[in-house]
Structure 1
Amino acid sequence: LPNLLSPQKYYPPDFDPAKIPKLKLPKDRQYVVRLMAPFNMRVWWVWETTKTQQGGFLAGSALARVMELGDVWLWGWLWAAWSSIPTLSVFPAVPPQTDPENTDYTMEHGATRNFQAEKLLEEEEKRMQKEREEEELNNPMKVLENRTKDSKLEMEVLENLQELKELNQRQANVDFEAMLKQYKELEEEQRRREQE
């Protein structure tokens, strides 16, 4: 065993690395990797239950995957991760695919994503922004009201920022050595009074 672990190997003088046969790999090669589940999902077909939840997988569950190139998307490739889930008695593929447009993953088939609070909040914000823009297009007074609200909010933020800056400046100008010296002098005066 120590022979195998030694960092130096013996190469004979007639060794020619060009004579080593090269592996010929297919062009549509698949890479088997081990990744974590990118999101919580519920599998459509369930014969056995998992430990985490009935027929579902939590984000971060380790799944064996086969990565392969998918469609071309603007500046790169879409990677599809075909997950074979080890707890099922039959191993169908559950393919979450990269979604570069939204910097997220999408499910092709085989499972559905569980509830996503963040996504719902983002959609609600977009909807509110769209409603506000539509109101502003139809009503010029609403545009003026929204501008005044925005300017008031901006003024409040600037005032708070200015207060914080002043507070930081005051704290930065404090001379701690002088404070300690003054404190010691006060203590000495109190001792003298107590002794008298």
Structure 2
Amino acid sequence: PAKIPKLKLPKDRQYVVRLMAPFNMRCKTCGEYIYKGKKFNARKETVQNEVYLGLPIFRFYIKCTRCLAEITFKTDPENTDYTMEHGATRNFQAEKLLEEEEKRMQKEREEEELNNPMKVLENRTKDSKLEMEVLENLQELKELNQRQANVDFEAMLKQYKEYEEEQKRKEQE
């Protein structure tokens, strides 16, 4: 076996893999919606000359379920997501927009705090008030759970048996 020469495989070799659509998309040729989680037999290849922090980037080729047009997308390890290349358009994602909005708000707040020292104090007081409210709500929930946890199941069973016996006596009379 050591004397047998190794097979020289090309670097851009494609493998057939079974994968699920990572996001909702719409085919550009026929308009078919392809939902997240739809299973495909896809071709997978490593993208040449594209690496992010030593991680290889993969490209996937799938076919539309209606018109068999080719749709391609790549992995995006920088954002832990996928990027659409061609063949389809990615549908609206509320989670991504919400995340971007939160980042923008945080950035604005940090810029305000850098320019205005009074704003830093105001934000700290707001944060501490919010934290106090959260702690109070948590304490109330703990107390409520404690009250509900004091149920004596033995007494309940005993009371139920007495009730059944009373019902039997009434039936016999």
**TM-score, with structure 2 as normaliser:** 0.75
Q: Is the partner of 1:72 in helix, strand or coil? A: strand
| Cα distance in 2, alignment partners of residues 34 and 144 from structure 1 | 54
TM-aligned CA deviation for residue 66 of structure 1:
0.9
2:46 is aligned with 1:69: yes
1:169–1:27 CA distance, 2 compared to 1 (3 A): same
Map of 1:24 onto structure 2: 7
TM-aligned CA deviation for residue 171 of structure 1:
2.7
| Aligned positions of 1:112-151 closer than 5 A | 112-151=89-128
Map of 1:15 onto structure 2: none
- C-alpha contact 2:52 2:78 (8 A) present in aligned 1: no
Structure with larger Rg: 1
Structure 2: tracts of 5 or more residues without a match:
166-173
Could you tell me which of 21, 25, 42 is aligned with 1:37?
21
- C-alpha contact 1:83 1:95 (8 A) present in aligned 2: yes
1:87–1:181 CA distance, 2 compared to 1 (3 A): closer
1:40–1:182 CA distance, 2 compared to 1 (3 A): closer
The list of structure 1 runs, each at least 4 consecutive aligned residues, that deviate by more than 4 angstroms after superposition, is 179-188
TM-aligned CA deviation for residue 144 of structure 1:
0.9
TM-aligned CA deviation for residue 85 of structure 1:
3.3
List per-residue Cα deviations over 1:86-129 (Å, max 9, x = no partner).
5336x4x4221111121110012333212111111111111111
1:123–1:182 CA distance, 2 compared to 1 (3 A): same
1:141–1:32 CA distance, 2 compared to 1 (3 A): same
Bigger share in strand? 2
Structure 1: tracts of 5 or more residues without a match:
1-17, 189-196
RMSD of Structure 2 on Structure 1 (CA): 3.0
1:108–1:187 CA distance, 2 compared to 1 (3 A): closer
List per-residue Cα deviations over 1:122-154 (Å, max 9, x = no partner).
111111111111111111111111111111111
**TM-score, with structure 1 as normaliser:** 0.68
Map of 1:164 onto structure 2: 141
- Which deviates the most, 26-35 or 96-105? 26-35
List per-residue Cα deviations over 1:156-177 (Å, max 9, x = no partner).
1111111222222233333232
| Cα distance in 1, alignment partners of residues 156 and 115 from structure 2 | 63
Q: Percent identity?
A: 68
Counting matched residue pairs gives 161
